């Protein structure tokens, strides 16, 4: 159903303030990464200026940035994979199999997410210490999957529940195993849900600070801890912080662009008809 | 009954701590130290000189840096659960509560040239007669002022608090966005420390001889009033200011004066951040009944359960020594400010080129006053911070605030 | 329903993992909350039962924090929900120029919260910040964004909204995408207006997703820490001191018993509100479309 010309025009007009509001701070951060601190506070504000690369140079030379980037990437990838696999299975399970206490168990899953992180940090620390997982990427991964899982499960319950059951049953009659049904039919139809769950899990892991700070030391340190370290006792190092933040944003953008095409309606219809 | 339950609990805690401590093996290699450090520019200064140390001694130092807001927490957690740090970079108020877990250094210190330490800095690492840490980076409150503006008006830098108020009034011109003095009036800790400085100067004390809160006194009240009076000549939005904003106000030429920690003075001279670099003068903080710049020394301590105590001691003496001190001061980052605690370094004529405020720093350190050395001090300071924040936000009157500070102190100390 | 037995085993891996990893820390926190335990006095730990909990209602700082948290959460989530939904509906239209812009809307989510908040501080700076620069040019003065008690609360909600509207948008947009287009077309053919289409077709189908978005965002806003801490640190005074900041301070000083008690009270409060919301909105639908 195509919107009217008027609708399209109004939409375009509405987009201007929306994008301005959303993108202005991003622009400001990016600009700050190419400015000196004095220029950042210049009045009138400098929208056009000649960029300097000093901030990036300082960040890349004084911090083992690449090592931390690797850590962040590996942990985030692992978190995404872990939450997707476990979340898909559990989400599908809840959607298709209801037992007497399923409502209560589902709520309990959500409750796992309600405690403030700081309360969980110390017992996690002790647990990881006992398991020898302190300052390892695995330790962080386990924690992050547990953060992302409740939302993934609940989200995917909704998306899987909306998959038409007759299609699945037809496939079962044709001899498909439940796992195959999940893989070939349910997942493609619920794809947008999986995309959201994946992006969410990636972001939870990528931006998380508190657990990374406490659970990691030298080996497994991730980027948010490094960035927080630029908030020194003498005040934030705006230039370096912005440069680091810009570099940290990029993998997220790449990932989202890659996943974008699954976020569309077409896939759903295609699966049903085909 | 109670004793039995307590015993079980202690055993449980110890059990966890011991089980947790089992993981230390990985770090207990000889000739390798794990160092808990403050992240940021101080870390940069350290890393620049670390290769020298490693080459000279053959000891490898693994640096685990944490941001300032979280360093204490991380050290407390690690030390109290059987930790993995050998050496720790500690702000002096943390030494009393963490002393429990630190190696006493009295014997070892005897072999050092202690005369070369600025005397008050060595005290920063002591608690109840035992030396637990060596000074590395002394900091103290100083007065920074716009030499050029003062010369224009033919004024001398303020020596007393009355002079300070008069000067602030003279330079305060909100219409031109020029303000007398930059201080904080937010719920940031600096606000409380400014107020405490004013109160100390009048002769007041946070805690009296019998360990009770003593700020609610005539002197305390006078100090508080002067502080509130001073706020009138601060930028209008000082209520949202942090340590860094005080610097900003000077750097952007808005404020004629600032009371600031010496480490904050360095960014004021950084040309990429400051429009007034080179135009600043430095002096001791003003006096009233007495002159009491607040001391804040970063120290180096050794964990009691470190498996490499000798190596740790070597590191501690190096980082508090002359060579590192010289290198640290000369480190070419404009924000880096690890001040050496060594007299020989601070009084070196070459130092002034890198630290324009070196004289003010040294003079102030001689008479610096320390905050109460108590295990519970972190809590007392928290209470001070929150209450001072409520005072400046208008939630409390000065009388009520002073009463609340003392009440909190007494409650925390169990009086 | 033939579907019934199949899902059984699928549930296990996820549930086992979650409970193994999360229940133990929660149990530990609960256990610790019954003790008077100060980390700097490791030999002086006493069992005090519910004392840590019972002292909370009488502590004015705590009750004030509850109010601040409630105001912040309700305000922020409401704005984020409405804006996110509006954006999702806007972008669900079949307009070609919308597709490439989607990613742009998500950018705030990719900024590390600490940096985002720090930059907003710069923007909010009353004298030299860019926001007030233009506001003063427009004759609107220079509002003290972070130093006026009421404005500070608005400011942190604003920054939270900036950061989280993209999330709400993403979730609800995905929800809209899986809705069969035929339903809308049928409704349009039947002459329903846009609002009627939304109210009677879209909203009921989207209810689960909308509820989930609000629940998750609500839980996160309730526990929000980084943004508030960087922007105002709980100030001015205690105007923006949420339960989380209070909790953080307690932990920071090593008061394990009290801090854990506050944490579990937080959990209880959030659980109650969630439960009420779920019953109110999901009950009529039981398990969605099962």
Q: Give the model confidence (pLDDT) of A215-227 as tens digits.
A: 887 888 888 888 8
Residue B6: closest C-alpha in chain C:
C46
**What integer pLDDT is reported at residue B309 of this predicted model?**
92
Strands B295-302 and B179-182: unpaired
Q: Which of residues 85-104 of A touch C (CB under 8 A)?
A: 85-87, 89-90, 92-98, 102-103
What is the token pair recorded at B191? 């606000």
**What integer pLDDT is reported at residue B98 of this predicted model?**
92
**What integer pLDDT is reported at residue C178 of this predicted model?**
78
State yes or no: pLDDT of A239 exceeds 80: yes
Q: Give the model confidence (pLDDT) of B191-242 as tens digits.
A: 999 999 999 999 999 999 888 999 999 999 999 999 999 999 999 888 888 8
**Number of independent structural domains in chain A:** 1
CA neighbor of A33 nearest in space, from A236, A255, A197: A236
A176 touching C (Cβ < 8 Å)? no
Helix A102-111 with C256-282: angle, nearest 10 deg: 140
Of A1, A29, A123, which is closest to C184 when you measure between CB atoms? Answer: A1
The model carries a pTM of 0.84
Using CA atoms, how far apart are residues B141 and B338, in angstroms rounded to an integer? Answer: 15
Domain boundaries, chain B: 2-139+297-366, 141-294+376-413
Helix (H, G, I), strand (E, B) or coil at A156: helix
**Where in the sequence is the domain holding A129, given as residue range(s)?**
64-273
Put simply, the answer to whether B237 touches C249 (Cβ < 8 Å) is no
**What integer pLDDT is reported at residue B147 of this predicted model?**
94
Question: What residues in C contact B76, CB-CB < 8 Å?
Answer: 39-40, 254
The chain-wide mean pLDDT, for chain C, equals: 85
**What integer pLDDT is reported at residue A143 of this predicted model?**
92
Range of lowest pLDDT (B310-314, C20-24, C73-77): C20-24
Assigned architecture for domain B2-139+297-366: 3-Layer(aba) Sandwich (3.40)
- Domain assignment present for residue A50? The answer is no
**Is B187 in contact with B240 (CB distance < 8 Å)?**
no
Of A36, A129, A225, which is closest to B272 when you measure between CB atoms? Answer: A36
CA neighbor of A7 nearest in space, from C171, C102, C97: C97
**What integer pLDDT is reported at residue A47 of this predicted model?**
83
Best mutation target among A69, A114, A242 (most C Cβ atoms within 10 Å) is: A114
CA B351 to chain centre: 21
- Domain assignment present for residue A48? The answer is no
Put simply, the answer to whether C40 touches B98 (Cβ < 8 Å) is yes
**What integer pLDDT is reported at residue A130 of this predicted model?**
85
**What integer pLDDT is reported at residue B23 of this predicted model?**
35
**What integer pLDDT is reported at residue B30 of this predicted model?**
55
- Domain assignment present for residue A68? The answer is yes
Phi/psi at B85 (5° precision): -95, 140
Rg of chain A over Cα atoms, rounded to whole angstroms, equals 23
Structure confidence at residue C3 as a pLDDT band (50, 70, 90): very low
Range of lowest pLDDT (A170-174, C7-11, C286-290): C286-290
State yes or no: pLDDT of A233 exceeds 60: yes
State yes or no: pLDDT of B284 exceeds 90: yes
Least Cα separation, residue C116 to chain B (angstroms): 17
What letter would DSSP give residue B296? Answer: E
**What integer pLDDT is reported at residue A58 of this predicted model?**
84
Using CA atoms, how far apart are residues B391 and B386, in angstroms rounded to an integer? Answer: 9
- Domain assignment present for residue A29? The answer is no
Phi/psi at B126 (5° precision): -105, 155
Q: How far is CA A135 from CA A74, B27, B348, in A?
A: 14, 12, 43
**What integer pLDDT is reported at residue B336 of this predicted model?**
54
State yes or no: pLDDT of C19 exceeds 60: yes
Q: Give the model confidence (pLDDT) of B333-370 as tens digits.
A: 656 568 889 999 988 888 888 888 989 999 999 999 99
Q: How far is CA A32 from CA A43, A46, B369, in A?
A: 14, 10, 39
Q: Is C103 exposed, middle or buried (0-12, 13-18, 19+ CB in 10 A)?
A: middle
CA neighbor of C263 nearest in space, from C22, C113, C52, C61: C52
Q: Taking the alpha carbons of C73, C78, C80, C85 in that order, is the dihedral positive or negative? A: positive
Least Cα separation, residue C113 to chain A (angstroms): 7
Using CA atoms, how far apart are residues B360 and B349, in angstroms rounded to an integer? Answer: 14
Question: What residues in A contact B65, CB-CB < 8 Å?
Answer: 229
CA neighbor of B259 nearest in space, from B198, B337, B172, B340: B198
**What integer pLDDT is reported at residue A232 of this predicted model?**
75
CA C234 to chain centre: 18
**CATH top-level class of C59-282:** mainly alpha
A202 touching C (Cβ < 8 Å)? no
Question: What residues in C contact A94, CB-CB < 8 Å?
Answer: 7, 11, 287
**What integer pLDDT is reported at residue C90 of this predicted model?**
87
Residue recorded with tokens 């020029």: B178
List Cβ neighbours of A266 (8 Å cut-off, separation of 6 or more): none
Q: Which residues of A209-234 are buried (b: 16+ CB within 10 A; e: fewer)?
A: bbbbbbbbbeebbbbbbbbbbbbbbb
Assigned architecture for domain B141-294+376-413: 3-Layer(aba) Sandwich (3.40)
Of C7, C162, C247, which is closest to A97 when you measure between CB atoms? Answer: C7
**Is B144 in contact with B263 (CB distance < 8 Å)?**
no
Q: Is the ipTM of this complex over 0.95?
A: no
**What integer pLDDT is reported at residue C283 of this predicted model?**
60
Helix ranges, chain C (H): 8-32, 51-54, 60-91, 102-110, 113-124, 130-137, 149-177, 181-189, 194-196, 203-222, 226-231, 243-252, 256-282
Residue recorded with tokens 């926001």: C131
What is the token pair recorded at B240? 């949202």
State yes or no: pLDDT of B38 exceeds 70: yes
What letter would DSSP give residue C198? Answer: I
Phi/psi at B340 (5° precision): -80, 145
C47 touching B (Cβ < 8 Å)? yes
Question: What residues in B contact A235, CB-CB < 8 Å?
Answer: 242-245, 247-248, 267
CA neighbor of A186 nearest in space, from A94, A83, A82, A81: A94
| % of residues, chain B, pLDDT over 90 | 60
State yes or no: pLDDT of A83 exceeds 80: yes
Of B235, B239, B390, which is closest to C127 when you measure between CB atoms? Answer: B235
Largest CA distance in chain C: 76
Most confident of C72-81, C107-116, C210-219: C72-81
State yes or no: pLDDT of A138 exceeds 80: yes
Using CA atoms, how far apart are residues B94 and B39, in angstroms rounded to an integer? Answer: 17
**What integer pLDDT is reported at residue C5 of this predicted model?**
62
- Domain assignment present for residue A13? The answer is no
State yes or no: pLDDT of B111 exceeds 50: yes
Provide the CATH number for the domain around residue A201: 1.10.3720.10
**What integer pLDDT is reported at residue B334 of this predicted model?**
55
State yes or no: pLDDT of A268 exceeds 70: no
CA neighbor of C260 nearest in space, from C275, C273, C272, C250: C250
Q: Is A8 exposed, middle or buried (0-12, 13-18, 19+ CB in 10 A)?
A: middle
Chains within contact range of chain C (3+ C-beta pairs < 8 Å): A, B
**What integer pLDDT is reported at residue A273 of this predicted model?**
37
List Cβ neighbours of B42 (8 Å cut-off, separation of 6 or more): A232, B89, B137, B298, B336, B337, B338
Q: How far is CA B101 from CA B76, B84, B305, C46, C151, in A?
A: 9, 12, 8, 21, 44
Put simply, the answer to whether B394 touches C237 (Cβ < 8 Å) is yes
Q: Which residues of C56-80 are buried (b: 16+ CB within 10 A; e: fewer)?
A: beeeeebebbbebbeebbebbbebb
Cross-strand partners of B294: B369
Q: Give the model confidence (pLDDT) of A242-267 as tens digits.
A: 898 898 888 888 888 888 777 765 44
Helix B218-231 with B189-201: angle, nearest 10 deg: 130
Least Cα separation, residue C240 to chain B (angstroms): 11
Strands B295-302 and B87-91: antiparallel
Phi/psi at B307 (5° precision): -90, 0
**What integer pLDDT is reported at residue B24 of this predicted model?**
38
**What integer pLDDT is reported at residue A81 of this predicted model?**
95
Helix (H, G, I), strand (E, B) or coil at A126: helix
Q: Give the model confidence (pLDDT) of C142-183 as tens digits.
A: 888 888 889 999 999 999 999 999 999 999 988 888 777 777
Q: Give the model confidence (pLDDT) of B242-276 as tens digits.
A: 888 898 899 999 999 999 998 888 888 888 888 99
- Domain assignment present for residue A8? The answer is no
Q: Give the model confidence (pLDDT) of B144-196 as tens digits.
A: 999 999 999 999 999 999 999 999 999 999 888 899 999 999 888 999 999 99
Least Cα separation, residue A205 to chain C (angstroms): 11
Q: Give the model confidence (pLDDT) of A105-118 as tens digits.
A: 889 888 888 888 88
**Is B395 in contact with C237 (CB distance < 8 Å)?**
yes
**Is A245 in contact with A229 (CB distance < 8 Å)?**
no
What letter would DSSP give residue C43? Answer: T
What is the token pair recorded at B51? 């290769």
Structure confidence at residue B12 as a pLDDT band (50, 70, 90): very low
């Amino acid at each position: 159903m195509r919107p009217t010309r008027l609708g399209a025009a109004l939409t375009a007009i509405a987009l201007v303030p929306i994008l301005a509001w959303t993108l202005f701070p991003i622009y400001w951060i990016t600009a700050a990464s190419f400015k000196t601190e004095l220029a950042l506070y210049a009045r009138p504000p400098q929208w056009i200026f000649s960029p300097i690369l000093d901030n990036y140079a300082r960040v890349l030379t004084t911090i083992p940035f690449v090592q931390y980037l690797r850590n962040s990437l590996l942990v985030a990838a692992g978190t995404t994979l872990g939450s997707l696999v476990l979340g898909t299975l559990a989400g599908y399970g809840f959607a298709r199999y209801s037992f007497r206490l399923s409502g209560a168990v589902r709520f309990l899953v959500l409750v796992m997410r309600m405690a403030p992180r700081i309360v969980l940090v110390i017992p996690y620390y002790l647990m990881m210490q006992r398991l020898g997982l302190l300052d390892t990427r695995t330790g962080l991964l386990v924690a992050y999957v547990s953060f992302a899982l409740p939302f993934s499960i609940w989200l995917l319950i909704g998306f899987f529940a909306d998959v038409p059951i007759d299609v699945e049953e037809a496939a079962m009659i044709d001899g498909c195993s439940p796992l195959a049904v999940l893989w070939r039919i349910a997942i493609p139809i619920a794809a947008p849900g999986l995309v959201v769950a994946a992006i969410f899990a990636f972001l939870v892991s990528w931006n998380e600070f508190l657990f990374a700070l406490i659970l990691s030391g030298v080996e497994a340190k991730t980027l948010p801890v490094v960035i927080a370290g630029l908030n020194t006792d003498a005040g934030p190092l705006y230039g370096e912080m912005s440069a680091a933040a810009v570099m940290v944003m990029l993998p997220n953008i790449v990932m989202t662009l890659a996943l974008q095409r699954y976020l569309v309606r077409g896939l759903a219809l295609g699966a049903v008809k085909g | 009954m109670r004793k039995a339950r307590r015993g079980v609990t202690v055993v449980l805690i110890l059990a966890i701590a011991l089980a947790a401590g089992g993981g230390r093996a990985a770090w207990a290699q000889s000739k390798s130290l794990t160092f808990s450090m403050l992240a940021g520019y101080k870390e940069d200064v350290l890393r620049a000189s670390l290769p020298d140390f490693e080459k000279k001694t053959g000891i490898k130092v693994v640096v685990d840096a944490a941001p300032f807001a979280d360093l204490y927490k991380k050290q407390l957690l690690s030390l109290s659960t059987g930790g993995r740090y050998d050496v720790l970079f500690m702000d002096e108020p943390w030494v009393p509560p963490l002393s429990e877990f630190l190696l006493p250094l009295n014997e070892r210190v005897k072999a050092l040239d202690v005369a070369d330490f600025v005397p008050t800095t060595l005290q920063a690492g002591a608690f109840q007669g035992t030396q637990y840490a060596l000074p590395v980076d002394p900091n103290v409150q100083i007065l920074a002022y716009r030499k050029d503006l003062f010369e224009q008006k033919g004024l001398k830098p303020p020596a007393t608090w009355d002079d300070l108020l008069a000067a602030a009034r003279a330079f305060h011109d909100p219409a031109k966005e020029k303000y007398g003095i930059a201080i904080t009036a937010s719920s940031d800790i600096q606000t409380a420390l400014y107020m405490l400085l004013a109160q100390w100067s009048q002769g007041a004390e946070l805690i009296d001889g019998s360990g009770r809160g003593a700020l609610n006194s005539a002197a305390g009240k006078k100090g508080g009033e002067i502080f509130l009076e001073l706020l009138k000549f601060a930028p209008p939005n000082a209520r949202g200011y942090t340590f860094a904003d005080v610097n900003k106000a000077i750097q952007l030429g808005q404020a004629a004066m600032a009371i600031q920690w010496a480490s904050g003075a360095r960014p004021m001279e950084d040309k990429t951040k400051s429009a007034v670099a080179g135009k600043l003068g430095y002096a001791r903080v003003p006096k009233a009944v007495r002159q009491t710049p607040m001391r804040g020394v970063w120290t180096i301590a050794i964990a009691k359960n470190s498996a490499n105590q000798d190596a740790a001691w070597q590191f501690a003496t190096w980082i508090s020594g002359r060579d590192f001190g010289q290198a640290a001061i000369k480190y070419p980052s404009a924000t880096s400010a690890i001040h050496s605690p060594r007299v020989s370094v601070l009084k070196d004529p070459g130092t002034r080129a890198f630290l324009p405020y070196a004289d003010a720093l040294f003079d102030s350190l001689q008479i610096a006053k320390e905050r109460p050395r108590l295990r519970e001090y972190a809590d007392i300071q928290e209470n001070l911070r929150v209450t001072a924040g409520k005072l400046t936000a208008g939630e409390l009157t000065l009388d009520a605030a002073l009463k609340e500070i003392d009440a909190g102190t007494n409650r925390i100390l169990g009086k | 329903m033939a579907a019934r037995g199949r899902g059984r085993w699928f549930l296990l891996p996820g549930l086992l993992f979650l409970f193994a990893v999360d229940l133990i820390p929660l149990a530990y926190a609960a256990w610790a909350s019954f003790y008077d335990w100060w980390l700097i006095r490791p030999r002086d730990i006493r069992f005090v039962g519910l004392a840590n909990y019972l002292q909370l209602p009488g502590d004015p700082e705590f009750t004030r924090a509850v109010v601040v948290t409630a105001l912040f959460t309700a305000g922020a989530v409401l704005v984020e929900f409405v804006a996110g939904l509006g954006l999702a509906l806007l972008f669900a239209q079949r307009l070609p120029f919308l597709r490439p812009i989607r990613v742009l809307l998500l950018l705030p989510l990719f900024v590390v919260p600490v940096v985002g908040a720090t930059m907003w501080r710069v923007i909010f700076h009353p004298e030299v910040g860019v926001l007030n620069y233009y506001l003063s040019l427009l004759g609107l003065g220079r509002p003290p964004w972070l130093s006026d008690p009421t404005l500070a609360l608005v400011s942190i909600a604003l920054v939270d909204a900036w950061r989280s509207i993209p999330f709400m948008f993403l979730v609800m947009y995905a929800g809209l995408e899986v809705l069969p287009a035929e339903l809308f077309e049928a409704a349009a053919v039947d002459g329903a207006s846009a609002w009627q289409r939304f109210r009677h077709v879209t909203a009921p189908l989207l209810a689960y997703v909308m509820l989930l978005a609000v629940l998750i965002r609500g839980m996160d806003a309730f526990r929000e820490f980084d943004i508030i801490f960087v922007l105002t640190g709980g100030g001015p005074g205690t105007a923006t001191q949420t339960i989380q900041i209070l909790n953080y301070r307690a932990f920071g000083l090593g008061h394990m018993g009290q801090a854990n008690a506050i944490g579990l009270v937080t959990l209880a409060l959030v659980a109650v509100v969630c439960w009420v919301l779920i019953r109110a909105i999901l009950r009529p639908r039981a398990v969605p479309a099962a």
